[in-house]
Amino acid sequence: MSRVRVAEDEKQLKQLPQVDLWLQRADRVITDADKLIVQSPLHVEKLCMRGCCSRHPRSTHKFGKQIATILQEVNGLKENGDFSDVACKPPIPSANKRPSDPTVGLESYVNQVWSCLQKEQVGIIGIYGLGGVGKTTLLNQINNKFHDTTHDYHVIWAVASQDRPIERVQDEIAKRIGLSNEGWKSIEEKAEDIFYVLRKKKFVLLLDDIWEWIDLTRAGVPLPTQGNGSKVIFTTRRRDVSCQMQPNMDNNFRLESFKQFKEKVGSETLQMHPDICKLAEVVFPWVGKEMFPKLKFSYDCLADEKVKSCFLYCSLYPEDKSIEKDELIHCWIGEGLLDEHTNLSSARNRGHFIIGSLIDACLLEKQGNHRIKMHDVIRDMALWIAGESEEKFFVKSGVQLKEQPKAKKWEEVIRMSVMDNLIENLTDILACPNLQTLFLGRNCLKVTNNDFFNFMPMLRVLDLSHNMNLKELPVGIGKLVSLEHLNLSFTPIRKLPIELKALKNLKYLNLERTKRLRIIPQLISSFSKLQVLKMEGCCYQCSLVLEEMKHLNYLNVLTITFTSTSELEKALGFNKFISCAIEHVSLEGFRDSRSLNILALANLHPLYSLELSGYMVIEDVKIESNIIEGVGCFHSLRSIYLFDCNQLRDASWIIFAPHLERLFIRDCQGLEEIISEEKLSEVAELKGNSNLFSKLEFLHLNNLPKMKTIYRHALLFLQLKRITILNCPMLKNFPLNSNSAKGRRLIIEEDEGWWKDVEWEDESPQIAFFPSFKHR
């Protein structure tokens, strides 16, 4: 693990698949061994005759066999764990496909820029126009044209920023061309390495959202004017910046919203009334901050001050990053922005209603069913409004900060976000008497001063998630007596400090994917107001969690991992557990049984996500023919993940999830089919049912060496957006025909040439195939 961390964090290499597999197996063996160690004192007590005999021979014999099995696995792992290399440079595709909205009114601009690119004497092309006019969308379209055509360019996408633009551009270029972090200490050192690589390549640099003139030479980018055939295309909101970067105005393209409006609407509509053109001209001329007062009209029309605060809160997240709806709503609840006197369910519903109203007001953008995004212009306006109001924000998210930021008036700050940076140490103590939200997630935190949280008495929301070097919490975290929301997910912390007992107001605790967490010193039961407890993927023993749950009278939402049939059965017989809203469940290991009655989980509501993983020995997931009422019993289930279930031959039980949206199956060595027609015939109501995957959006199949078919007959995929088929050499029969997608175009990511041997039910559907990352 030390070698992997050095390779990934410092050298920007990619962990080898065989190393990842070995580490997963080792982690599972360590977990199993830890459980045996905990049980060992009980078995030692059963011995007699100086350890030669046992008073319970059957139990002792079984325990001994478990130990022998673990030791055998340990020896096997040690023999196969001597890797000369643990990581390698990731393959670099010529161009990555980028998501892009339809080019409403931009078609002519795409053609003009593409035509200009073909001119040998043109090296730099500028695209400028006011925020929100479609510059990034246009650049996305240019990028995707490179992806879809044959060429000899190396295409690099980089986004600048208002803060430290050269450093950010350098980091994105370095990552794209496969440069590792060689301990660069300055811009100049990094530029030298970038130049050394790029000078040998014919490249296209797509540089989005620059705010000032960027010295390409200082960044290490060879100037395209040096006759190497390379190109640079940039976007900016400012005409003067565009002229500085490219003085020849013939190679600068101004995007005009009024011109696009006229092209899209058409002359006939424009001539219907003389005021149409006048009003359009009034709407479109403002640029930059001059536009904010006009855009603010949508903000001023929001229902009340709480809704306005919810909108401003979204600007704490990094520019151009999507935001998970549930995560955002729980932060709103933690800050008290939703009615604190309603129950949790009503507050969450209120949160979803507010998100819907902000989308309707065009202040947020929908990103699928579960995420949203704030346009960078709207985000700038929100930060401008926050700066003008009493809600003082300090926002430096996603700007490549490496050190703890400085500010003159910490006492005025109410919300602070430095998430998505490179900060390692928090050594300076901040006096923030009014701070209510602090986002520190997605950094590189290693060291935090024990007194760092001492002077934040009003803090209600703290996010430390996705800090992959954070092994322990400062004891001073116990001083946060007002804290209601604590997110520690995806961190390698090993124990929770006993000082957390002081957090009497805590209502939300997220410990998901804390794979190293072993010690929670009877803390959970002390959080008497706790409403949400997320522990899926946490290594802390489930039985101990269930014991402490007895004291949590307000617990409403739970996610959890079970590691054995006995654990699951105990939980299902526990009324406090059943009464909670169980949203995500992971079944991991389950080495004490070879069969599983999946319908035992049918009483868990509303179960959104279910994962089976951890080298299970389960051979059969039963579909009981006498439980007809079970058909479609997982109505709320949206995501299913099957990993390392090597003994399973099929996954026919997924027919009980009629609203399934995402199905991911990976590394199941014995899986031969997803839905068995034979098993389906056991449930009369499902015979000949072609709607099994009618709600499915994403299907991902990887490393299934025995997989022969998904289902033997064609199915309707009415919502399917993407299929990924990798390392499935036996899969030759696919449940698609010309009617499967109802005229929609399907995208399949596959091993190069896999689709040529596939047998379709009849005429093949309209499909776009493209190779997986490793083949691009």
pLDDT class of 631 with cuts at 50, 70, 90: very low
- Cα angle for residues 666, 671, 676 (degrees, 5° grid): 120
CA 652/CA 659 separation, integer angstroms: 15
**For a pLDDT cut of 90, what percent of the chain falls above it?**
34
CATH superfamily of 392-510: Ribonuclease Inhibitor (3.80.10.10)
* pLDDT of residue 609 exceeding 80: yes
Domain map (residue ranges) of the chain: 1-88, 106-259, 285-388, 392-510, 589-775
Average pLDDT taken over every residue of the chain:
84
Instruction: Supply the CATH classification number for the domain 106-259.
Output: 3.40.50.300
Mean pLDDT confidence for 148-156 = 84
* pLDDT of residue 648 exceeding 80: yes
Q: What is the pTM of this model?
A: 0.73
Q: For position 776, what pLDDT does the model report? A: 33
Q: For position 493, what pLDDT does the model report? A: 94
pLDDT class of 622 with cuts at 50, 70, 90: confident
* pLDDT of residue 554 exceeding 50: yes
Q: Reduced to 3 states, what is the DSSP secondary structure of residue 463? A: strand
Return the C-alpha torsion angle 668, 672, 673, 678, nearest 10: -130
Q: For position 511, what pLDDT does the model report? A: 95
Mean pLDDT confidence for 742-746 = 63
pLDDT class of 313 with cuts at 50, 70, 90: very high
**Which of 57-66, 149-158, 687-696 has the highest average model confidence (pLDDT)?**
149-158
CA 181/CA 389 separation, integer angstroms: 41
Q: For residue range 406-464, what is the model confidence (pLDDT) as tens digits?
A: 877 899 999 999 999 999 999 999 999 999 999 999 999 998 999 999 999 999 999 99
* pLDDT of residue 389 exceeding 50: yes
Domains 285-388 and 392-510 share a fold: no
Of 407, 388, 381, 411, nearest to 314 by C-alpha is 381
**For a pLDDT cut of 70, what percent of the chain falls above it?**
86
Please answer whether residues 160 and 207 qualify as being in contact, where contact means their C-beta atoms are separated by less than 8 angstroms: yes
* pLDDT of residue 499 exceeding 90: yes
User: What residue has token string 């399934």?
Assistant: 660
Q: For position 301, what pLDDT does the model report? A: 87
Q: For position 265, what pLDDT does the model report? A: 78
* pLDDT of residue 89 exceeding 80: no
- Cα Rg, the chain, nearest whole Å: 29
3-state secondary structure 358-410: HHHCCCCEEECCCEEECCHHHHHHHHHHHHHCCCCEEECCCCCCCCCCCCCCH
CA 691/CA 386 separation, integer angstroms: 49
**Which of 403-407, 484-488, 651-655 has the highest average model confidence (pLDDT)?**
484-488
pLDDT class of 151 with cuts at 50, 70, 90: confident
Tokens coding 253: 């393209």
Beta bridge partners of 707: none
CA 175 to chain centre: 19
186-195, 266-275, 283-292, 665-674, range with the lowest pLDDT: 283-292
* pLDDT of residue 182 exceeding 80: no
Question: In Å, how far are 176, 178, 493 from 90, measured between CA atoms?
Answer: 10, 7, 29
CA 305/CA 624 separation, integer angstroms: 54
* pLDDT of residue 629 exceeding 70: no
CA 31/CA 565 separation, integer angstroms: 16
pLDDT class of 399 with cuts at 50, 70, 90: confident
Q: For residue range 164-178, what is the model confidence (pLDDT) as tens digits?
A: 788 888 888 888 887
Tokens coding 677: 């027609």
Q: For position 458, what pLDDT does the model report? A: 97
pLDDT class of 758 with cuts at 50, 70, 90: low
pLDDT class of 775 with cuts at 50, 70, 90: very low
- Residue with more model confidence, 258 or 251: 251
- Cα angle for residues 170, 175, 180 (degrees, 5° grid): 100
pLDDT class of 630 with cuts at 50, 70, 90: very low
Provide the sign of the torsion angle of the four alpha carbons 760, 721, 718, 606, taken in this order. Answer: positive
Q: For position 760, what pLDDT does the model report? A: 54
CA 122/CA 251 separation, integer angstroms: 8
Look at the domain 285-388 and name its fold: Arc Repressor Mutant, subunit A (1.10.10)
CB within 8 Å of 273: residues ≥ 6 apart? none
